[in-house]
Structure 1
Amino acid sequence: MTGDLTITDRQRDIADLVQSDGFASVEALAERFQVTTQTIRRDLARLCEQGILRRTHGGVEPPAPVGNLHYARRQILNLPAKRAIAERVAQEVPDGASLAFSIGTTPEIVMQALARHTALRIFTNNLHVAFSASQAESFEVTIAGGRLRHGDRDTLGAETERFFSAYKVDIGIFGVAGVDTDGTLLDFHEEEVAARQAILANCRKAFLVLDATKFGRAAHVRGGHITDVDAVFCDHPLPKDLDAALRADGRQVVIAAHAR
């Protein structure tokens, strides 16, 4: 895999389509994007080099689910959906609020959408979030200490949990690696769950931000239930059982539509 993660808009759209559908043939992609099969093959070669897709007979499919993708590759995927979610979350955040942000690409994009706000107080273990927040002069940014994870550029562990437990914030904003069919929230590492749970325990409102690909996605560490949060922000209607459970518990479900 190459270190240069630059891809074209068409390549990003191809990646999103394959992630959503599970497979796409060269011919179908060429017809959809109105380009030659040779052009599509070059696009697919680029995406496979990046580890975003993998080749299979007659086309491409998402990579094998052996773990989470590198952070920079996750930043590429489902970007229009994440931006739509972020803009919708920003509408729910008042100026002057205090917010705790967890790791993940969608919380980072939410932070970017808050750039027009004023006097926010940000608490985070996500250096991507901290960097975005630090560009707004009126924001106060406090970050967790500890050992930095390469690639993800975040901190986890006991120090991070103590960090979030030291504050009571207005809104906690976090994502998850996956949501099981029964609504169980899933991540890849125990420390990711512990940090998220520390935010949940120390915020007045909890916002779960996730795109629709997270529903049914395999990840092996359990950490709470979708009904534990106050609001779920997604780009697509939730599975009916989960939507009903959230609304029955008085939780807010916000669907952020975007151009597909």
Structure 2
Amino acid sequence: MLKIAVSRQAHILEIVREEGFASIEHLATRFDVTQQTIRRVVNALCDQGLLRRIHGGVSLPVQNQNLAYGSRQGLNADAKRRIAHATAKFIPDGASLMIGLGTTPEYVAQALSRRHDLRVITNNLNVAAAFAHNPDVEITIAGGTLRPLDRDIVGEAAARFFAGFRADYGIFGVGGVDQDGTLLDFHLGEVQARQSIVANSRTAVLVADTTKFGRNASVRGGHLDECHHLFTDGPLPTAFAPISAKYTDRIHASSDTALAR
């Protein structure tokens, strides 16, 4: 039953992303269930901030700002764990890593936290804390003004910090991905930090679950062209079929078993 519920949520998200709006009546007919059943599903999606209730149905949320960090940590947790596990398998011991802000990079840090001989360069205190117990990991943290709710440093201070290093891998998340492959975030400072990671890493690794594809965010910065690898949790939404075809050699779904370095 849980798998059915999760699959139904994913299909509803895909319908709303493609059509912009879906009525409760339409969704109930489409899935051949009662309107009460559909309301339970969409209410759960709205509570997670993935959809917005409007009269008679649901639409995409108006996303002028991101959800609070604590709320995002538990959002799509299983998907993030799968992404983190696949990404950790891809990273060799002895590597230098830039790891950026966000909850999915934090999950990656947790998956790597017991590895040997890593050098971690980060602007994310949650990432630093994940590695802090491991004496085999060298941690370098950005200085600057802390965003206390997100526990990170962004903006010009973070961009200058990352520019002082050259890492084997840059691991970063994103607020959203537009249909043309443009990367989106909620604040200019987040974009500045992320783009500095990309510019100063030999291999740029985007980690993003499929709900980020089609998600609205207001600040443009970067493109999938700049990402050497994308780790995600499953097939991209139907509207992103051209992206899937164009970057098929760069996209690693969590179900992939063979990940060539």
Q: Structure 2 length as normaliser, TM-score?
A: 0.77
Structure 1 residue 62: Cα displacement: 6.7
Match of 1:188 among 186, 198, 206: 186
Structure 1 residue 216: Cα displacement: 1.2
Amino acid at match of 1:122: V
Task: Note if contact 1:19-1:61 (Cα within 8 Å) is conserved in structure 2.
Answer: no
Cα distance in 2, alignment partners of residues 158 and 252 from structure 1: 29
Cα distance in 2, alignment partners of residues 168 and 94 from structure 1: 17
Matched with 1:246 is: 247
List gaps (5 residues or longer) in structure 1: 1-8
Task: Note if contact 1:52-1:73 (Cα within 8 Å) is conserved in structure 2.
Answer: no
Structure 1 residue 60: Cα displacement: 7.2
- Helix, strand or coil: the match of 2:106? helix
Matched with 1:5 is: none
Deviates more, 1:57-66 or 1:195-204: 57-66
- Helix, strand or coil: the match of 1:241? helix
Correspondence 1:1-260 to 2 at 5 A: 63-238=61-236, 239-247=240-248, 251-257=249-255
Amino acid at match of 1:233: F
What are the Cα deviations for residues 150-202 of structure 1, in whole angstroms up to 9, with x where unaligned?
A: 21111012221111011111100001111111111111111111111111111
Cα distance in 2, alignment partners of residues 71 and 256 from structure 1: 23
- Helix, strand or coil: the match of 1:91? helix
Structure 1 residue 64: Cα displacement: 3.7
List gaps (5 residues or longer) in structure 2: 17-21, 257-261
What are the Cα deviations for residues 74-123 of structure 1, in whole angstroms up to 9, with x where unaligned?
A: 11111111110110001111111110011111000011111231121111
Distance 1:151 1:47, change over 3 A: farther
Structure 1 residue 47: Cα displacement: 8.8
Cα distance in 1, alignment partners of residues 180 and 52 from structure 2: 29
Task: Note if contact 2:154-2:193 (Cα within 8 Å) is conserved in structure 1.
Answer: yes
Q: For this pair of structures, how many residues does the alignment match?
A: 236
Distance 1:115 1:157, change over 3 A: same
Matched with 1:6 is: none
- Helix, strand or coil: the match of 2:93? coil
What is the CA RMSD across the aligned residues, in angstroms?
3.2
- Helix, strand or coil: the match of 2:72? helix
